Copies of this chain bind each other. A is one copy, B any other.
Amino acid sequence: MPSANEDCAPLTEYEGSCQGQHGAEEGRMIREVLSRVGDKWSLLVVATLRGGRLRFSELQGHIPGISQRMLTLTLRHLERDGLLSRTVHAEVPPRVEYELTDLGRTLMELSIGLGMWAVENRERIETARAAYDSAHSQV
């Protein structure tokens, strides 16, 4: 059956093939989720928090290359979407801890899955990339 898309799983079917109504909406929603989570740091933060709560500086230490600004922004976005909780301890010096919510943990599972996929298939991708490049760099 090399023809296509007849099973109508209610996910990324874009108008036409099946009921043909909600498709576009779901596509937009998926893009929204990817915008939230598909940025440069979100999944990394979520994955880093999989072991439990961490404070700001610990997160920064565990994610090499992230700037203070981007860590702050990423954490705020994830908090806004209910993916992690932010706890400020009334101390001096201040201590702030971040922890995944239940919702965040479900996403974390997926991000771990993506990460494992990346680890497992890095070589295949690099090989394919090299093959493609050499095939297309014809003089």
Residues of chain A touching chain B, judged by Cβ–Cβ distance below 8 Å, are 1-7, 9-17, 23-24, 26-40, 43-44, 47-48, 50-54, 58, 61-65, 79-83, 103, 105-107, 110, 112-119, 121-122, 124-125, 127-129, 131-133
Copies per assembly: 2
CB-CB nearest in chain B for A49 = B4
Contact across chains for B79 and A112 when beta carbons are under 8 A apart: no
Contact across chains for A125 and B1 when beta carbons are under 8 A apart: no
Contact across chains for A64 and B114 when beta carbons are under 8 A apart: no
Known: A1-B52, A38-B38, A110-B117. Contact between A44 and B30, CB under 8 A? yes
Contact across chains for B106 and A117 when beta carbons are under 8 A apart: yes
CB-CB nearest in chain B for A101 = B128
A49 vs B3: C-alpha distance when bound (angstroms)? 11
The 23 sampled A-B contact pairs (Cβ below 8 Å) are A5-B50, A5-B51, A7-B51, A12-B50, A14-B63, A16-B62, A17-B62, A23-B62, A23-B64, A30-B44, A31-B40, A31-B44, A33-B114, A34-B38, A34-B43, A36-B125, A38-B39, A80-B128, A82-B124, A103-B121, A103-B128, A110-B114, A113-B113
Contact across chains for A10 and B119 when beta carbons are under 8 A apart: yes
Contact across chains for B119 and A52 when beta carbons are under 8 A apart: no
